[in-house]
Chain A
């Protein structure tokens, strides 16, 4: 099927982040159309029709999410989740750094659609360059009268603020993000209440991923039906995939949903490096269960097909591991990540992730015991579904799939006290 350049159409142009370049290819005309020709509920309707689903990882239908916002007079907020931190994911960074105005246009249209006059871009602290690009772009657009009070002379006010995080993966979880945006520790909140009714400052709030919001201008321009015609019957549209690991051409590629998994790895990303064999692949960011080489046979890159294969589309972050990769070490490294990033509020996530690391450290160091594997697999029951937010479950993705699918490798580490791959 090959690449489909919708979101990435501009990114390779020189000075693509500048307003004049963006406007030259019809930039902000979709905002004009939305503000002058469409009612907010019509936009929500188009987005519903488009079948667009949240591109941050959870895949919740965007139009439905917007529909939860109550039609009241209280302040409402739109928050763009640019806290891209899921290991393997680097797709939003491309839009932020190379096509910031596309994101801003998407934010402005979406804010208008839900009745918000204030929007925040919560960008991870490490993306300071990206934050500067966005701030410059906001300034440019405000000075041009496109954003800010009376946007494009429509009478609609929209204020967009860039808010930098400061190093906490959990802030990608939307309620933790809201706490962080309120100047607090990034602790996920208990739900209900959901952000759509009580979010930022206890007011209705919609939180959408960068890629999701950047898609909105195209839906306004060409209609929900057009967008829905891309992709598959159930997984509509295009998706950005960040592919990394042992491939020849790692990078961000935009594909129609439903593109064969192997096409991405072997054609688009140029296949496995140094002619080695594929061992395993993580399809949607570190929290999605890994698939063995043979398991991706015939699998398509869309929500349903990956679910049927026992994993998830997630954020579209494909991590490719060749035959030289020690899965035990890979699982250990990811466990360490979750233990480091757990907010520490709830018992199962806090203690479970720490224990995982303690046990895996021993196994990696050649001091594992066979019963350790039973304890690790038991985490699925004692942690799974019992945590306050999805981080605990995310930690289980690589752990359970790694042990189940590569048990022999774990046993070899335990029995010989060494890595069979010499790692």
Chain B
């Protein structure tokens, strides 16, 4: 059967990227993680519609795609805020005060870990080691690293985000 994939689901740039990725590997399925990244980059998160669209692209059951996506922590399967704050709380960050950083952000934004601010701007989560142990404590906001954090530094970072 000729598969009909609705290209307009993603932007032309993302579609180009997906075509490149699916062509890059000896087996197209290898591109699944990269395509999930690419679609998430555009949409912010992967809802059921996105999962089904990707499933069709790869000729896989949607359950299989969701099974893969849910295994990895970086895929947002629910809507997240404009800024996803990911604070490392693993050992090197913990012993350098990561818990205080988390508490500080919770107080500042008025949300708990796992929650999103009512205006949809920030989502706060804690994550495992980010590989910034030498500049602990550290966090990522969306894709950018912020290191050697102090409460004051966190304030100025968050305040600078529009």
Contact = CB atoms under 8 A, between A and B. Distances in A.
A90 B24 CA distance: 29
Contacts of A186: 71-72
B95 A325 contact: yes
A318 to B, nearest CB: 10
Given A118-B26, A183-B32, A321-B95, A167 B72 contact: yes
Contacts of A75: 26
B25 A89 contact: no
A348 B131 CA distance: 28
Nearest to B30: A183
Interface residues of B, number: 40
A419 B21 CA distance: 52
A123 to B, nearest CB: 11
A330 B30 contact: no
A100 to B, nearest CB: 16
B50 interface: no
B39 interface: no
Interface stretch (A19-27, A80-88, A404-412): A80-88
B133 A166 contact: no
Interface string A302-321: 00000000000000010101
Interface string B59-70: 000000001100
Given A88-B129, A90-B133, A126-B130, A165 B33 contact: yes
B9 interface: no
Interface stretch (B115-123, B134-142, B151-159): B134-142
A359 B131 CA distance: 28
Contact of B34 (A164, A169, A334): A164
A166 B91 contact: no
A300 interface: no
Contact of A124 (B24, B36, B71, B131): B131
Interface string A133-149: 00000000000000000
B27 A165 contact: no
B31 interface: yes
